[in-house]
């Protein structure tokens, strides 16, 4: 491998990472989503009494087993976005192969109904692949860090089906810069996306039932700013209570018992509201097609938060991107369908606000402004309709969120993102004085 030039090794590594992460994302989907579908796809069509025993027993036993593994193999607890961030900041991009345990256990938590998502583990898996490939190719420290970021971007791209979102998240969250290395990151993200979609399809999982229409100017001036304004405190509430629930379960109990209790409590919610279990993407699709009423949207907004707090507070592992998107979809749906009921002419297509809600909540909770906008645009195909309202609402949510809390949901300081937000606020003050 040393006989190959550095650019050649970087190109070969980039292609390898993209293909491997795309295949890995496919395998994760088959284990987590398909297994979860087999277990839970039928429960929503049943009465609460019919599904009660199953919805209580499966998460309790399944998550209890996962907790037992985590109890006796603590390395499985370490992983996710924060781990990738710390490997770049503190360990020069070196990631232990043991992190694969976290990916596998996260898939099981998702399959057994825990309120987690697949994207965080996919980021961890992609970064791990990038680290292993980079070390195998004997690349320099800077190149290894580039490949870790490329793997993380590839994981996001394959999980979300969004190459552009993966690249922008590498910039916003993982400290990538606009230089030649960004080409490798972009290529890995694109190859991972093509690999996954070639096998599984589903390039636009959040497409609207009818073609998206432009948001009226009056709604851009009124509803979009309001969505951004209220999304910031909602995101702050979610992050604050996510941390508080870390101490909710008895510290003296074995981890397996705490995780099992978490599964039982989530299952208890799922008896009446099964939509809060697992990643929750089907409820987003149903909302995009107008299948939920306003009261249920508001109820699911808070119950999805509660189910996620319980799952992570118990000690289970998994991703937080999917819960963020579900919370955002319920939030946006409540705005869209609520205003549509009051002034239909102002909101002719309320389903579009479901997508906009995901953008503003992503900006508030994940601290990803542009990456959230591109992710949802890629997943829905509604680029033109989302661009202007997403910039307005997402920007307000992102800026205000820094006033309320200076950490992302992953506990990352994100100093580069904070600096951008501070600069934007300073520029706004200068403009207002003029």
Q: Which domain holds residue 182?
A: 6-200
**Residue 331 within a domain:** yes
Could you tell me if residue 308 is inside a domain?
A: yes
Whether residues 319 and 400 share a domain: the answer is: yes
Q: How many domains does the chain divide into? A: 2
* 254 within a domain of the structure (yes/no): yes
Same domain, yes or no, for 266 and 408? yes
Residues 46 and 103 placed together within one structural domain of the fold: yes
Are residues 181 and 224 both part of a single domain? no
Choose one of 200, 235, 252: the last residue of a domain. Answer: 200
In this prediction, residue 431 carries a pLDDT of 43
- Residues 353-374 have pLDDT tens digits of 999 999 999 999 998 888 899 9
Q: Where are the beta strands (DSSP E) in 236-391?
A: none
| pLDDT over threshold 70, residue 170 | yes
* Residue 209 resides in a domain: no
Residue 98 in this model has a pLDDT that exceeds 90: no
210 within domain boundaries: no
Is residue 109 assigned to a domain?
Answer: yes
More confident residue, 159 or 257: 257
User: At 5, is the pLDDT very low, low, confident or very high (cuts 50, 70, 90)?
Assistant: low
Note whether 163 and 242 are same-domain residues: no
User: Same domain, yes or no, for 329 and 196?
Assistant: no
Average pLDDT estimate for 398-417: 74
Q: Is residue 69 part of a domain?
A: yes
What was the pLDDT predicted at 413? 53
User: Of 8, 2, 17, which is closest to residue 133 (Cα–Cα)?
Assistant: 17
Identify the band that residue 338 occupies on the pLDDT scale cut at 50, 70 and 90.
very high
Specify the pLDDT at position 375.
93
Q: For the segment 386-403, what is each residue's pLDDT rounded down to a tens digit?
A: 999 999 999 999 999 988
Q: Are residues 228 and 157 in the same domain?
A: no
CATH number at 314 reads 1.10.3080.10
**Picking from 76-85, 180-189, 365-374, 385-394, which range would have the lowest pLDDT averaged per residue?**
76-85
What is the per-residue pLDDT across 110-153, written as a single tens digit (0 to 9) for each? 989 999 988 888 999 999 999 999 888 877 888 889 999 999 99
Least-confidence region, from 198-207, 307-316, 345-354 = 198-207
Residues 77 and 152 in one domain: yes
pLDDT at 416 exceeding the cut of 80:
no
Query: Does 353 lie in the same domain as 271?
Result: yes
Cβ contact 206:355 at 8 Å: yes
Do 226 and 358 fall within a single domain? yes
| Mean of per-residue pLDDT scores for the chain | 87
For residues 396 and 225, the answer to whether their CB atoms sit within 8 Å is: yes
pTM for this predicted structure: 0.89
| Single residue among 148, 171, 200 that ends a domain in this structure | 200
Range from 9-13, 296-300, 324-328, 329-333 carrying the lowest mean pLDDT: 9-13
Residue at which a domain ends, from 200, 230, 246: 200
Same domain, 392 and 331: yes
- Does the pLDDT of residue 319 top 60, yes or no? yes
pLDDT at 420 over 50: no
What pLDDT digit, counting tens, does each position of 29-66 carry?
Answer: 887 777 777 777 667 667 777 788 888 999 999 999 99
Mean pLDDT over residues 302-327, rounded? Answer: 95
Residues 138 and 251 placed together within one structural domain of the fold: no
Report d(CA 53, CA 95) in Å as an integer: 41
| Res 430: pLDDT | 46
In a domain, 326, yes or no: yes
**Does residue 378 have a pLDDT over 60?**
yes
**Mean pLDDT, residues 409-431 taken together:** 52
pLDDT value at position 85?
83
Q: Which of 219, 232, 243 is nearest to 361 (CA)?
A: 232
Q: What is the full DSSP assignment across 116-182?
A: -BSHHHHHHHHHHHHHHHHHHTT--HHHHHHHHHHHHHHHHHHHHT-HHHHHHHHHHTS---SSTHH
Which pLDDT band, with edges at 50, 70 and 90, does 7 fall under?
A: low
What are the Cα distances from residue 138, in Å, to 86, 131, 134, 382?
21, 11, 6, 42
The share of the chain scoring above pLDDT 70, in percent, equals: 91
pLDDT class of 242 with cuts at 50, 70, 90: very high
Structure tokens at 162: 């969004």
DSSP H/E element including 218: helix 217-244
């Amino acid at each position: 491998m040393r006989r190959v030039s550095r650019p050649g090794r970087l190109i070969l590594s980039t292609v390898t990472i993209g293909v491997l992460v795309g295949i890995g994302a496919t395998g994760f989907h088959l284990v987590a989503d398909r297994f979860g579908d087999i277990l839970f796809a039928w429960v929503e069509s049943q009465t609460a009494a019919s599904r009660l025993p199953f919805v209580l027993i499966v998460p309790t036993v399944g998550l209890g087993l996962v907790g037992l593994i985590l109890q006796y193999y603590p390395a499985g607890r370490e992983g996710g976005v924060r781990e990738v961030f710390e490997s770049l900041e503190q360990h020069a991009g070196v990631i232990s192969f043991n992190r694969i345990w976290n990916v596998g256990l996260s898939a099981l938590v998702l399959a057994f109904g825990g309120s987690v998502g697949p994207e965080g583990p996919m980021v961890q898996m992609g970064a791990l692949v990038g680290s292993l490939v980079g070390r195998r190719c004997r690349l320099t420290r800077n190149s290894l860090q580039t490949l870790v970021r490329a793997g993380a971007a590839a994981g996001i791209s394959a999980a979300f089906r969004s190459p552009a979102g993966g690249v922008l998240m590498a910039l916003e969250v993982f400290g990538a810069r606009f230089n030649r290395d960004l080409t490798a990151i972009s290529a890995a993200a694109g190859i991972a996306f093509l690999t996954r979609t070639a096998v599984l399809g589903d390039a636009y999982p959040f497409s609207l039932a009818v073609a998206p229409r432009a948001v009226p100017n009056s709604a851009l001036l009124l509803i979009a700013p309001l969505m951004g304004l209220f999304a910031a405190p909602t995101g702050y509430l979610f992050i604050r209570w996510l941390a508080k629930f870390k101490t909710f379960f008895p510290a003296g109990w074995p981890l397996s018992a705490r995780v099992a209790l978490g599964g039982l409590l989530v299952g208890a919610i799922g008896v009446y509201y099964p939509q809060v279990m697992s990643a929750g993407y089907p409820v987003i699709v149903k909302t995009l097609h107008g299948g939920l009423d306003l009261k249920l949207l508001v109820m699911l907004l808070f119950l999805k938060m509660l189910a996620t707090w319980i799952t992570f507070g118990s000690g289970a592992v998994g991703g937080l991107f999917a819960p963020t998107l579900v919370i955002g979809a319920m939030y946006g749906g409540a705005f869209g369908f609520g205003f549509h009921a009051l002034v239909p002419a102002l909101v002719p297509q309320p389903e579009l606000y479901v997508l906009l809600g995901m953008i503003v909540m992503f900006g508030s909770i994940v601290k990803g402004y542009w990456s959230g906008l591109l992710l949802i645009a890629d997943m829905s195909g509604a680029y033109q309709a989302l661009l202007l309202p997403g910039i307005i609402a997402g920007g307000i949510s992102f800026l205000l969120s820094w006033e309320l809390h200076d950490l992302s949901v992953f506990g990352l300081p994100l100093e580069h993102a904070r600096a951008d937000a501070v600069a934007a606020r300073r520029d706004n003050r200068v403009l207002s004085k003029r």
